[in-house]
Amino acid sequence: MSGGPPGSGKGTQSPIIKDEYCLCHLATGDMLRAAVAAKTPLGVKAKEAMDKGELVSDDLVIGIIDEAIKKPSCQKGFILDGFPRTVAQAEKLDEMLEKRGAKLDKVLNFKIDDAILEERITGRWIHPSSGRSYHSKFAPPKVPGVDDVTGEPLIQRKDDTAAVLKSRLEAFHQQTEPVFCVSIWLCMLGKIQNLFRITSNLHGIKALTFSFQQIKLND
């Protein structure tokens, strides 16, 4: 599971980790949209909530994750991108995984000072269909506004503004940060400190993952 404040790099690193370790990349927003588009039973319920302007319930999100990890593409493992966001969600996720005889191997906490985030957020560009992230300063595409792989146009999210960031950070510190202090997850926690270069971050992630694998082997 990868987590951190908006703009911390989890969305950029998760697809890279997926390719490096042949994992399934599970971003809840993407999964919800896919379930709604496919009109699955859970997707229909999620659409009903969204059409009413309501938040999709934790149980629905957990159900969609449960469906996703049953797919053949997820049998070698998966990375949860930005979920859970609350302690309650973390507890429900653990319950679901326990029923399946599975568990999280690693919890990656992407650490970054709030003061640095505005520049990173406002310069961010996204390739919608793949989730690939770019930054106009730190990780620009080869051609401005165009995805390196497909040549398709990139977009900027409507909430990638300084004003929206402030409220999102307040929510993160109040609701999501405590997730990393849940006692059952502390032994799996690895911190990725604020590093600007994507390759440097990946080296840090690989080092944490390798050390964790060594610990498991030596237990």
Residue 163: Cβ within 10 Å count? 8
> Residue 200 pLDDT > 50, yes or no?
no
More confident residue, 29 or 150: 150
At residue 44 the predicted structure's pLDDT band, cuts being 50, 70 and 90, is very high
Catalytic residues: 10, 85, 124, 157, 168
For the chain, the average pLDDT equals: 81
Identify the CATH class of 2-123+160-218: alpha beta
Mean pLDDT of 143-167: 92
Residue 83: Cβ within 10 Å count? 22
> pTM of the prediction?
0.68
Copy the structure tokens of residue 139.
Answer: 């990780």
Residue 103 CA to residue 107 CA, distance in Å, equals 11
More confident residue, 101 or 216: 101
- Which segment of 38-52, 86-100, 127-141, 196-210 scores lowest on mean pLDDT? 196-210
Residue 7 CA to residue 15 CA, distance in Å, equals 15
